Structure 1
Amino acid sequence: MNLRKLLLTLGLICSVAIMADAQQFKALVFTKTAGFRHQSIPNAVTAMKKMGEKQVFSVYTSEDPRVLSEESLMKYDVLILISTTGTIFDETTRASLQKFVQSGKGVVGVHAAADSEYDWPWYNKMMGGYFLAHPAQQTLRLEVVDQDHPSTWHLPKNWMWTDELYEYKDINPDLNVLIKADESTYKVAKGNGDNHPMAWYHEFEGGRVFYTALGHVDSAWEDDVFLKHLYGGIWYAATGHPMK
Protein backbone atom coordinates (compact mmCIF):
# COMPACT_ATOMS: atom_id res chain seq x y z
CA MET A 1 0.00 0.00 0.00
CA ASN A 2 1.50 3.35 -1.01
CA LEU A 3 1.66 6.30 1.36
CA ARG A 4 -1.34 8.08 -0.15
CA LYS A 5 -3.61 5.05 0.22
CA LEU A 6 -2.34 4.49 3.75
CA LEU A 7 -3.16 8.07 4.74
CA LEU A 8 -6.61 7.83 3.18
CA THR A 9 -7.31 4.59 5.04
CA LEU A 10 -6.13 6.05 8.35
CA GLY A 11 -8.22 9.16 7.73
CA LEU A 12 -11.32 7.05 7.11
CA ILE A 13 -10.74 5.02 10.27
CA CYS A 14 -10.31 8.20 12.32
CA SER A 15 -13.46 9.71 10.80
CA VAL A 16 -15.50 6.63 11.71
CA ALA A 17 -14.10 6.68 15.25
CA ILE A 18 -14.90 10.37 15.66
CA MET A 19 -18.45 9.83 14.37
CA ALA A 20 -18.94 6.95 16.79
CA ASP A 21 -17.65 9.02 19.72
CA ALA A 22 -19.92 11.91 18.74
CA GLN A 23 -23.08 9.91 19.39
CA GLN A 24 -24.85 11.06 22.56
CA PHE A 25 -26.06 7.60 23.50
CA LYS A 26 -26.96 4.20 22.07
CA ALA A 27 -30.60 3.16 21.69
CA LEU A 28 -32.01 -0.29 20.97
CA VAL A 29 -35.45 -0.17 19.36
CA PHE A 30 -37.28 -3.47 19.86
CA THR A 31 -40.56 -4.12 18.02
CA LYS A 32 -41.27 -7.83 18.45
CA THR A 33 -44.94 -8.79 18.67
CA ALA A 34 -46.52 -11.99 19.96
CA GLY A 35 -50.07 -10.66 19.68
CA PHE A 36 -51.67 -7.90 17.62
CA ARG A 37 -49.19 -6.24 15.27
CA HIS A 38 -49.58 -2.53 14.70
CA GLN A 39 -49.49 -1.30 11.13
CA SER A 40 -47.49 1.75 12.21
CA ILE A 41 -44.42 -0.24 13.31
CA PRO A 42 -42.52 0.18 9.99
CA ASN A 43 -43.27 3.93 10.11
CA ALA A 44 -41.98 4.00 13.69
CA VAL A 45 -38.74 2.24 12.77
CA THR A 46 -38.12 4.69 9.92
CA ALA A 47 -38.90 7.65 12.17
CA MET A 48 -36.55 6.41 14.88
CA LYS A 49 -33.66 6.07 12.43
CA LYS A 50 -34.28 9.61 11.19
CA MET A 51 -34.53 10.86 14.77
CA GLY A 52 -31.17 9.30 15.59
CA GLU A 53 -29.56 11.03 12.63
CA LYS A 54 -31.12 14.38 13.52
CA GLN A 55 -30.51 14.25 17.27
CA VAL A 56 -27.10 12.54 17.07
CA PHE A 57 -27.67 9.25 18.85
CA SER A 58 -27.18 5.76 17.49
CA VAL A 59 -30.23 3.60 16.76
CA TYR A 60 -30.26 -0.16 16.28
CA THR A 61 -33.60 -1.77 15.47
CA SER A 62 -34.44 -5.44 15.87
CA GLU A 63 -37.07 -8.08 16.58
CA ASP A 64 -34.49 -10.77 17.31
CA PRO A 65 -34.66 -11.84 20.99
CA ARG A 66 -30.91 -12.46 20.94
CA VAL A 67 -30.33 -8.69 21.18
CA LEU A 68 -31.88 -8.90 24.65
CA SER A 69 -29.16 -11.16 26.04
CA GLU A 70 -27.36 -9.58 28.99
CA GLU A 71 -24.12 -9.10 27.05
CA SER A 72 -25.89 -7.50 24.08
CA LEU A 73 -28.35 -5.36 26.02
CA MET A 74 -25.68 -3.82 28.24
CA LYS A 75 -24.11 -2.21 25.15
CA TYR A 76 -27.05 0.22 25.01
CA ASP A 77 -28.08 3.14 27.16
CA VAL A 78 -31.81 2.90 26.51
CA LEU A 79 -34.21 0.18 25.36
CA ILE A 80 -37.18 1.50 23.36
CA LEU A 81 -40.16 -0.87 23.17
CA ILE A 82 -42.45 0.27 20.37
CA SER A 83 -45.90 -1.37 20.23
CA THR A 84 -44.67 -4.73 21.45
CA THR A 85 -47.49 -7.13 22.30
CA GLY A 86 -47.87 -10.38 24.21
CA THR A 87 -45.04 -12.30 25.82
CA ILE A 88 -41.81 -11.06 24.24
CA PHE A 89 -39.34 -12.02 26.99
CA ASP A 90 -38.35 -15.52 28.13
CA GLU A 91 -36.83 -16.22 31.55
CA THR A 92 -33.31 -15.40 30.36
CA THR A 93 -34.19 -12.11 28.73
CA ARG A 94 -36.40 -11.16 31.67
CA ALA A 95 -33.34 -11.46 33.88
CA SER A 96 -31.36 -9.39 31.34
CA LEU A 97 -33.93 -6.59 31.41
CA GLN A 98 -33.98 -6.50 35.20
CA LYS A 99 -30.19 -6.24 35.35
CA PHE A 100 -30.26 -3.59 32.63
CA VAL A 101 -32.68 -1.42 34.60
CA GLN A 102 -30.95 -2.04 37.93
CA SER A 103 -27.61 -0.98 36.41
CA GLY A 104 -29.03 2.51 35.88
CA LYS A 105 -30.09 2.28 32.23
CA GLY A 106 -33.31 3.58 30.67
CA VAL A 107 -36.47 2.05 29.20
CA VAL A 108 -39.00 3.78 26.96
CA GLY A 109 -42.41 2.29 26.22
CA VAL A 110 -44.54 3.44 23.33
CA HIS A 111 -48.25 2.64 22.94
CA ALA A 112 -48.67 -1.16 23.05
CA ALA A 113 -45.59 -1.66 25.19
CA ALA A 114 -48.27 -1.65 27.90
CA ASP A 115 -49.98 -4.57 26.09
CA SER A 116 -47.11 -6.94 26.91
CA GLU A 117 -46.01 -9.38 29.59
CA TYR A 118 -49.30 -9.81 31.45
CA ASP A 119 -47.93 -12.65 33.55
CA TRP A 120 -44.87 -10.71 34.75
CA PRO A 121 -45.72 -8.36 37.66
CA TRP A 122 -42.24 -6.79 37.62
CA TYR A 123 -42.79 -5.61 34.05
CA ASN A 124 -46.12 -4.08 35.01
CA LYS A 125 -44.55 -2.05 37.82
CA MET A 126 -41.63 -1.07 35.61
CA MET A 127 -43.69 0.00 32.60
CA GLY A 128 -46.35 1.58 34.81
CA GLY A 129 -49.61 -0.08 33.79
CA TYR A 130 -51.32 -2.67 31.62
CA PHE A 131 -53.58 -2.02 28.66
CA LEU A 132 -57.26 -2.41 29.55
CA ALA A 133 -59.29 -1.26 26.53
CA HIS A 134 -59.61 1.38 23.85
CA PRO A 135 -62.51 2.91 21.93
CA ALA A 136 -62.48 3.76 18.22
CA GLN A 137 -59.83 6.25 17.11
CA GLN A 138 -60.92 9.75 18.07
CA THR A 139 -59.81 13.29 18.69
CA LEU A 140 -59.61 14.46 22.28
CA ARG A 141 -58.14 17.07 24.59
CA LEU A 142 -54.93 15.97 26.24
CA GLU A 143 -54.17 17.91 29.41
CA VAL A 144 -50.44 18.46 29.95
CA VAL A 145 -50.21 18.44 33.73
CA ASP A 146 -46.41 18.66 34.01
CA GLN A 147 -44.47 20.91 31.65
CA ASP A 148 -41.18 20.50 33.50
CA HIS A 149 -40.12 17.30 31.72
CA PRO A 150 -38.14 17.17 28.44
CA SER A 151 -41.02 15.36 26.78
CA THR A 152 -43.46 18.17 27.55
CA TRP A 153 -41.36 21.35 27.47
CA HIS A 154 -42.72 22.20 24.02
CA LEU A 155 -46.34 21.22 24.60
CA PRO A 156 -49.27 23.52 25.34
CA LYS A 157 -51.40 23.01 28.42
CA ASN A 158 -54.20 21.78 26.15
CA TRP A 159 -53.09 19.50 23.32
CA MET A 160 -55.60 18.41 20.69
CA TRP A 161 -54.70 14.94 19.45
CA THR A 162 -56.17 12.09 17.38
CA ASP A 163 -55.15 8.51 18.15
CA GLU A 164 -56.20 5.15 19.51
CA LEU A 165 -56.77 6.09 23.12
CA TYR A 166 -55.59 3.51 25.60
CA GLU A 167 -57.20 2.94 28.97
CA TYR A 168 -55.29 1.13 31.72
CA LYS A 169 -55.46 -1.28 34.63
CA ASP A 170 -53.02 -2.09 37.43
CA ILE A 171 -51.52 1.41 37.26
CA ASN A 172 -48.41 1.86 39.39
CA PRO A 173 -49.29 4.56 41.99
CA ASP A 174 -45.70 5.82 42.04
CA LEU A 175 -45.78 7.22 38.49
CA ASN A 176 -45.14 10.86 37.70
CA VAL A 177 -47.98 11.64 35.31
CA LEU A 178 -47.15 14.07 32.52
CA ILE A 179 -50.28 14.02 30.35
CA LYS A 180 -53.88 13.06 31.11
CA ALA A 181 -56.82 12.31 28.82
CA ASP A 182 -59.87 14.51 29.24
CA GLU A 183 -62.57 11.85 29.07
CA SER A 184 -65.28 14.50 28.69
CA THR A 185 -63.94 15.21 25.18
CA TYR A 186 -64.32 11.73 23.67
CA LYS A 187 -66.33 8.51 23.88
CA VAL A 188 -64.55 6.15 26.26
CA ALA A 189 -64.53 2.35 26.18
CA LYS A 190 -64.35 1.60 29.92
CA GLY A 191 -62.53 4.73 31.03
CA ASN A 192 -60.14 5.66 33.81
CA GLY A 193 -62.09 8.63 35.12
CA ASP A 194 -60.60 11.99 36.06
CA ASN A 195 -57.11 10.57 36.46
CA HIS A 196 -56.50 8.95 33.10
CA PRO A 197 -52.74 8.95 32.48
CA MET A 198 -51.47 9.04 28.89
CA ALA A 199 -47.77 9.71 29.45
CA TRP A 200 -45.62 9.30 32.52
CA TYR A 201 -42.13 8.70 33.89
CA HIS A 202 -40.57 7.33 37.05
CA GLU A 203 -37.32 6.09 38.50
CA PHE A 204 -37.48 2.36 39.05
CA GLU A 205 -34.94 0.10 40.78
CA GLY A 206 -32.07 2.38 39.79
CA GLY A 207 -33.16 2.99 36.19
CA ARG A 208 -35.39 5.52 34.42
CA VAL A 209 -38.63 4.73 32.61
CA PHE A 210 -40.73 6.86 30.27
CA TYR A 211 -43.99 5.79 28.64
CA THR A 212 -46.36 7.42 26.16
CA ALA A 213 -49.71 6.00 25.08
CA LEU A 214 -49.54 7.83 21.76
CA GLY A 215 -48.24 6.41 18.49
CA HIS A 216 -50.88 4.03 17.17
CA VAL A 217 -51.70 5.95 14.01
CA ASP A 218 -49.26 6.09 11.09
CA SER A 219 -49.41 9.88 10.94
CA ALA A 220 -48.03 10.22 14.48
CA TRP A 221 -44.64 9.10 13.21
CA GLU A 222 -44.51 12.06 10.83
CA ASP A 223 -45.75 14.60 13.39
CA ASP A 224 -43.01 16.88 14.72
CA VAL A 225 -44.87 17.63 17.96
CA PHE A 226 -45.27 13.95 18.80
CA LEU A 227 -41.68 13.15 17.81
CA LYS A 228 -40.36 15.94 20.04
CA HIS A 229 -42.49 14.52 22.86
CA LEU A 230 -41.02 11.07 22.29
CA TYR A 231 -37.46 12.30 21.93
CA GLY A 232 -37.73 14.19 25.21
CA GLY A 233 -38.70 10.95 26.91
CA ILE A 234 -35.88 9.03 25.22
CA TRP A 235 -33.33 11.69 26.16
CA TYR A 236 -34.47 11.58 29.79
CA ALA A 237 -34.40 7.77 29.97
CA ALA A 238 -31.04 7.47 28.23
CA THR A 239 -29.14 10.23 30.00
CA GLY A 240 -30.92 11.03 33.24
CA HIS A 241 -30.26 14.72 32.74
CA PRO A 242 -31.99 17.03 35.23
CA MET A 243 -35.41 18.15 34.07
CA LYS A 244 -35.12 21.77 35.25
Structure 2
Amino acid sequence: MRLLVFSKTTGFRHDSIPAGIAAVARLGDEHGFAVDATEDAADFTRANLARYAAVVFMSSSGVVFDDAQRTAFREYVESGGGFVGVHAASTTERGWDWFGELVGTWFTRHPHVQPAVIGVEDRDHPSTAHLGGTWERVDEWYEFEANPRGRVRVLLTVDEGGYEGAAFGADHPIAWCREVGEGRSFYTALGHTEESFAEPAFLAHLLGGIRSVTSPRAG
Protein backbone atom coordinates (compact mmCIF):
# COMPACT_ATOMS: atom_id res chain seq x y z
CA MET A 1 0.00 0.00 0.00
CA ARG A 2 1.17 3.52 -0.80
CA LEU A 3 -0.10 6.88 0.55
CA LEU A 4 0.32 10.39 -0.79
CA VAL A 5 0.68 13.16 1.81
CA PHE A 6 -0.35 16.53 0.34
CA SER A 7 0.46 19.76 2.20
CA LYS A 8 0.14 22.62 -0.28
CA THR A 9 -0.94 25.88 1.36
CA THR A 10 -2.10 29.14 -0.17
CA GLY A 11 -3.66 30.33 3.09
CA PHE A 12 -2.35 29.99 6.64
CA ARG A 13 0.60 27.59 6.90
CA HIS A 14 0.92 25.49 10.05
CA ASP A 15 4.38 25.05 11.56
CA SER A 16 3.40 21.47 12.38
CA ILE A 17 3.25 20.36 8.73
CA PRO A 18 6.81 18.94 8.57
CA ALA A 19 6.23 17.04 11.82
CA GLY A 20 2.98 15.67 10.41
CA ILE A 21 4.60 14.48 7.20
CA ALA A 22 7.42 12.86 9.14
CA ALA A 23 4.92 11.17 11.46
CA VAL A 24 3.01 9.59 8.58
CA ALA A 25 6.31 8.39 7.11
CA ARG A 26 7.22 6.79 10.46
CA LEU A 27 3.83 5.14 10.67
CA GLY A 28 4.45 3.74 7.21
CA ASP A 29 7.83 2.36 8.24
CA GLU A 30 6.32 0.79 11.36
CA HIS A 31 3.18 -0.61 9.77
CA GLY A 32 4.26 -1.61 6.31
CA PHE A 33 3.06 1.04 3.88
CA ALA A 34 4.95 3.43 1.62
CA VAL A 35 4.56 7.20 1.85
CA ASP A 36 5.22 9.91 -0.73
CA ALA A 37 4.89 13.61 0.13
CA THR A 38 4.15 16.47 -2.23
CA GLU A 39 3.08 20.10 -2.37
CA ASP A 40 2.72 19.97 -6.15
CA ALA A 41 -0.91 19.85 -7.23
CA ALA A 42 0.28 18.70 -10.66
CA ASP A 43 0.58 15.26 -9.04
CA PHE A 44 -3.22 15.13 -8.98
CA THR A 45 -3.80 13.33 -12.27
CA ARG A 46 -5.87 10.21 -12.86
CA ALA A 47 -2.80 8.12 -13.63
CA ASN A 48 -0.73 9.27 -10.67
CA LEU A 49 -3.52 9.08 -8.08
CA ALA A 50 -4.22 5.50 -9.16
CA ARG A 51 -0.91 4.56 -7.48
CA TYR A 52 -2.23 5.44 -4.02
CA ALA A 53 -4.63 3.80 -1.58
CA ALA A 54 -5.33 7.18 0.04
CA VAL A 55 -4.33 10.83 0.04
CA VAL A 56 -3.65 12.55 3.37
CA PHE A 57 -4.27 16.31 3.34
CA MET A 58 -1.85 17.48 6.04
CA SER A 59 -3.14 20.91 7.08
CA SER A 60 -3.45 22.06 3.49
CA SER A 61 -5.12 25.46 3.10
CA GLY A 62 -6.60 27.81 0.54
CA VAL A 63 -7.16 27.20 -3.16
CA VAL A 64 -4.76 24.44 -4.18
CA PHE A 65 -6.16 22.94 -7.43
CA ASP A 66 -7.11 23.90 -10.95
CA ASP A 67 -10.22 22.45 -12.60
CA ALA A 68 -8.43 19.45 -14.13
CA GLN A 69 -6.89 18.55 -10.78
CA ARG A 70 -10.26 18.86 -9.06
CA THR A 71 -11.80 16.51 -11.61
CA ALA A 72 -9.01 13.96 -11.22
CA PHE A 73 -9.26 14.00 -7.43
CA ARG A 74 -13.04 13.73 -7.39
CA GLU A 75 -12.92 10.78 -9.80
CA TYR A 76 -10.24 9.16 -7.64
CA VAL A 77 -12.31 9.35 -4.44
CA GLU A 78 -15.65 8.47 -5.99
CA SER A 79 -14.14 5.39 -7.64
CA GLY A 80 -12.78 4.08 -4.33
CA GLY A 81 -9.78 6.16 -3.23
CA GLY A 82 -9.35 7.13 0.40
CA PHE A 83 -9.19 10.63 1.88
CA VAL A 84 -7.72 11.61 5.26
CA GLY A 85 -8.03 15.26 6.27
CA VAL A 86 -5.94 16.58 9.16
CA HIS A 87 -6.73 19.85 10.98
CA ALA A 88 -6.58 22.69 8.40
CA ALA A 89 -7.78 20.43 5.60
CA SER A 90 -11.18 21.94 6.45
CA THR A 91 -9.84 25.35 5.29
CA THR A 92 -8.95 24.02 1.83
CA GLU A 93 -10.80 24.67 -1.47
CA ARG A 94 -13.58 26.55 0.30
CA GLY A 95 -15.30 27.47 -2.95
CA TRP A 96 -15.56 23.85 -4.12
CA ASP A 97 -18.81 22.40 -2.80
CA TRP A 98 -17.83 18.79 -3.45
CA PHE A 99 -14.69 19.15 -1.33
CA GLY A 100 -16.79 20.60 1.47
CA GLU A 101 -18.96 17.50 1.35
CA LEU A 102 -15.85 15.30 1.33
CA VAL A 103 -14.40 16.95 4.43
CA GLY A 104 -17.81 17.34 6.09
CA THR A 105 -17.94 21.09 6.76
CA TRP A 106 -15.74 24.20 6.68
CA PHE A 107 -13.62 25.71 9.45
CA THR A 108 -14.64 29.15 10.76
CA ARG A 109 -12.68 30.08 13.92
CA HIS A 110 -10.81 28.83 16.96
CA PRO A 111 -9.85 30.12 20.41
CA HIS A 112 -6.25 29.87 21.62
CA VAL A 113 -4.44 26.56 22.02
CA GLN A 114 -5.34 25.04 25.39
CA PRO A 115 -6.27 21.80 27.15
CA ALA A 116 -9.75 20.33 26.75
CA VAL A 117 -11.62 17.08 27.29
CA ILE A 118 -12.69 15.08 24.26
CA GLY A 119 -15.70 12.81 24.43
CA VAL A 120 -15.18 9.54 22.59
CA GLU A 121 -18.60 9.07 21.04
CA ASP A 122 -17.88 6.03 18.87
CA ARG A 123 -15.18 3.53 19.86
CA ASP A 124 -16.17 1.09 17.11
CA HIS A 125 -13.75 2.68 14.64
CA PRO A 126 -10.02 2.14 14.06
CA SER A 127 -9.22 5.76 14.99
CA THR A 128 -10.90 5.59 18.40
CA ALA A 129 -10.72 1.94 19.46
CA HIS A 130 -7.62 2.61 21.60
CA LEU A 131 -9.31 5.36 23.62
CA GLY A 132 -11.46 5.30 26.74
CA GLY A 133 -14.62 7.30 27.25
CA THR A 134 -12.75 10.62 27.39
CA TRP A 135 -9.43 11.90 26.12
CA GLU A 136 -7.67 14.92 27.63
CA ARG A 137 -5.17 16.77 25.46
CA VAL A 138 -3.95 20.17 24.24
CA ASP A 139 -4.90 21.37 20.78
CA GLU A 140 -6.50 24.19 18.81
CA TRP A 141 -10.24 23.58 19.01
CA TYR A 142 -11.76 24.27 15.60
CA GLU A 143 -15.29 25.53 15.07
CA PHE A 144 -17.18 25.09 11.82
CA GLU A 145 -19.78 26.66 9.54
CA ALA A 146 -22.26 23.90 10.30
CA ASN A 147 -22.52 20.88 12.53
CA PRO A 148 -21.79 17.88 10.28
CA ARG A 149 -23.82 15.47 12.42
CA GLY A 150 -26.49 13.81 10.32
CA ARG A 151 -24.26 13.81 7.24
CA VAL A 152 -21.27 12.04 8.80
CA ARG A 153 -20.51 9.42 11.45
CA VAL A 154 -19.30 11.44 14.43
CA LEU A 155 -16.38 9.84 16.30
CA LEU A 156 -15.16 12.53 18.73
CA THR A 157 -16.67 15.64 20.29
CA VAL A 158 -15.07 18.27 22.51
CA ASP A 159 -16.55 19.51 25.79
CA GLU A 160 -16.93 23.26 25.38
CA GLY A 161 -17.39 23.66 29.13
CA GLY A 162 -13.77 22.73 29.67
CA TYR A 163 -11.92 25.50 27.79
CA GLU A 164 -12.03 29.25 27.19
CA GLY A 165 -13.55 30.97 24.17
CA ALA A 166 -15.84 28.18 22.96
CA ALA A 167 -18.76 29.36 20.85
CA PHE A 168 -19.88 26.49 18.62
CA GLY A 169 -22.45 24.81 20.83
CA ALA A 170 -23.01 21.91 23.18
CA ASP A 171 -22.71 19.37 20.37
CA HIS A 172 -19.22 20.00 18.99
CA PRO A 173 -17.88 17.21 16.72
CA ILE A 174 -14.13 17.28 16.01
CA ALA A 175 -13.54 13.97 14.20
CA TRP A 176 -15.79 12.00 11.89
CA CYS A 177 -15.94 9.78 8.82
CA ARG A 178 -18.22 9.22 5.86
CA GLU A 179 -18.48 7.49 2.49
CA VAL A 180 -18.28 9.47 -0.76
CA GLY A 181 -19.23 7.43 -3.79
CA GLU A 182 -17.11 4.28 -3.61
CA GLY A 183 -14.51 6.10 -1.52
CA ARG A 184 -14.13 6.74 2.20
CA SER A 185 -13.32 9.95 4.05
CA PHE A 186 -11.90 10.51 7.54
CA TYR A 187 -11.40 13.96 9.03
CA THR A 188 -9.86 14.98 12.35
CA ALA A 189 -9.71 18.59 13.48
CA LEU A 190 -6.86 17.65 15.83
CA GLY A 191 -3.19 18.11 14.96
CA HIS A 192 -2.42 21.80 15.25
CA THR A 193 0.70 21.44 17.37
CA GLU A 194 4.02 19.86 16.48
CA GLU A 195 3.79 17.95 19.76
CA SER A 196 0.67 16.17 18.50
CA PHE A 197 2.79 14.19 16.07
CA ALA A 198 4.91 12.73 18.88
CA GLU A 199 1.88 11.85 21.03
CA PRO A 200 1.18 8.08 20.98
CA ALA A 201 -2.59 8.43 21.40
CA PHE A 202 -2.82 10.96 18.57
CA LEU A 203 -0.61 8.86 16.30
CA ALA A 204 -2.87 5.86 16.95
CA HIS A 205 -5.85 8.07 16.09
CA LEU A 206 -4.22 9.13 12.82
CA LEU A 207 -3.15 5.59 11.94
CA GLY A 208 -6.66 4.37 12.61
CA GLY A 209 -8.05 7.03 10.31
CA ILE A 210 -5.68 5.91 7.56
CA ARG A 211 -6.66 2.29 8.07
CA SER A 212 -10.36 3.18 8.02
CA VAL A 213 -10.15 4.52 4.47
CA THR A 214 -7.74 1.91 3.09
CA SER A 215 -8.78 -1.41 4.63
CA PRO A 216 -10.68 -3.95 2.53
CA ARG A 217 -14.41 -3.51 2.77
CA ALA A 218 -16.40 -6.15 4.60
CA GLY A 219 -18.38 -8.51 2.39
Q: What band does the TM-score fall into relative to the shorter chain?
A: over 0.9
Give, as a single letter, the amino acid of the residue that structure 2 aligns with 1:150: P
Displacement of 1:241 in angstroms is 4.5
* Mapping of residues 191-202 of structure 1, within 5 Å: 191-202=167-178
Q: Following the alignment from structure 1 to structure 2, what is the Cα–Cα distance between the partners of residues 112 and 240?
A: 28
Match of 1:75 in 2: 51
Match of 1:209 in 2: 185
Matched residues, number = 217
Match of 1:122 in 2: 98
Match of 1:154 in 2: 130
Q: For residues 18-67 of structure 1, what are the alpha-carbon distances to aligned partners after superposition, in whole Å with 9 as ceiling and x for unaligned?
A: xxxxxxx2100000001111000111111111110001011000101121
SS at match of 1:85: coil
Q: Following the alignment from structure 2 to structure 1, what is the Cα–Cα distance between the partners of residues 147 and 75?
A: 23
Give, as a single letter, the amino acid of the residue that structure 2 aligns with 1:122: W
Q: Following the alignment from structure 1 to structure 2, what is the Cα–Cα distance between the partners of residues 160 and 29?
A: 27
Match of 1:228 in 2: 204
* Mapping of residues 42-191 of structure 1, within 5 Å: 42-172=18-148, 173-189=150-166, 191=167
Q: Following the alignment from structure 1 to structure 2, what is the Cα–Cα distance between the partners of residues 219 and 40?
A: 8
Consecutive unaligned residues in structure 2, runs of 5 or more: none
Residues 208 and 240 of structure 1 are in contact (CA less than 8 Å); yes or no, is this contact kept in structure 2?
no
Greater CA drift, 67-76 or 168-177: 168-177
Query: With structure 1 as the length reference, what TM-score do the two structures score?
Result: 0.86
Residues 142 and 180 of structure 1 are in contact (CA less than 8 Å); yes or no, is this contact kept in structure 2?
yes
Residues 147 and 172 of structure 2 are in contact (CA less than 8 Å); yes or no, is this contact kept in structure 1?
no
Residues 130 and 171 of structure 1 are in contact (CA less than 8 Å); yes or no, is this contact kept in structure 2?
no
Residues 78 and 108 of structure 1 are in contact (CA less than 8 Å); yes or no, is this contact kept in structure 2?
yes
State the identity %: 39
Displacement of 1:240 in angstroms is 4.4
Q: For residues 98-146 of structure 1, what are the alpha-carbon distances to aligned partners after superposition, in whole Å with 9 as ceiling and x for unaligned?
A: 1001111110000000011111111101110100100000100000000
Consecutive unaligned residues in structure 1, runs of 5 or more: 1-24
SS at match of 1:86: coil
Residues 183 and 193 of structure 1 are in contact (CA less than 8 Å); yes or no, is this contact kept in structure 2?
yes
Residues 177 and 197 of structure 1 are in contact (CA less than 8 Å); yes or no, is this contact kept in structure 2?
yes
> Alpha carbon RMSD of aligned pairs, Å?
1.1
Q: Following the alignment from structure 2 to structure 1, what is the Cα–Cα distance between the partners of residues 146 and 70?
A: 20
Q: For residues 78-111 of structure 1, what are the alpha-carbon distances to aligned partners after superposition, in whole Å with 9 as ceiling and x for unaligned?
A: 0100100001111011001110011111100000
Residues 177 and 201 of structure 1 are in contact (CA less than 8 Å); yes or no, is this contact kept in structure 2?
yes
Q: Following the alignment from structure 1 to structure 2, what is the Cα–Cα distance between the partners of residues 111 and 188?
A: 19
SS at match of 2:107: strand
